[in-house]
């Protein structure tokens, strides 16, 4: 009888541990993928920024008109994937999901990130689209 009770308790403990690792492990897996995507976004943005800095150094301090100018003049070999926008010394990438947008802004030092449909932000580049 004692062996049966120990066996049942052991099975219950294993089941609880399995459920806990799926729950907490799944969250860590999803957050890890988001952080990897945002880190890649930052690295690609730094490549574009470095190419723009080199362009300015070699062209009398003039800013490149677009990312295409950097590609045409061989400051960038290829354009990183995504919808990159360049202007007023700001480099942004669209097509991030909501979690990636929030994490990117937090990694950039912005704790309070407004929603893009907020009328009070008036063109802020550090807003995130409302999730559907």
Task: Give 31-65 pLDDT, tens digit per residue.
Answer: 778 888 888 888 888 898 899 899 999 999 898 88
Distance CA 7, CA 75 (A): 67
Average pLDDT of the chain, as a whole number: 80
Alpha carbon 107 to its chain's center: 9
Give the mean model confidence (pLDDT) for residues 88-111: 78
Q: What is the arithmetic mean of pLDDT over 94-112?
A: 80
Percent of the chain with pLDDT over 70: 85
Of 127, 64, 119, the residue nearest 94 (C-alpha) = 127
> pTM of the predicted model, to two decimals?
0.64
Check whether 6 has a pLDDT greater than 80. yes
């Amino acid at each position: 009888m004692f062996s049966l009770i120990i066996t049942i308790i052991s099975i219950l403990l294993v089941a609880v541990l399995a459920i806990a690792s799926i729950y907490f492990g799944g969250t860590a897996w999803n957050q890890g993928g988001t952080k990897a995507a945002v880190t890649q976004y930052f690295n690609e943005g730094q490549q574009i920024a470095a190419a723009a800095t080199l362009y300015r150094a070699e062209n009398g301090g003039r800013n490149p008109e677009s990312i295409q100018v950097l590609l045409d003049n061989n400051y960038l070999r290829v354009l990183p994937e995504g919808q990159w926008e360049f202007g007023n010394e700001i480099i942004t990438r669209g097509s991030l999901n909501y979690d990636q947008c929030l994490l990117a802004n937090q990694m950039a030092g912005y704790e309070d990130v407004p929603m893009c449909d907020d009328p009070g932000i008036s063109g802020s580049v550090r807003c995130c689209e409302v999730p559907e």
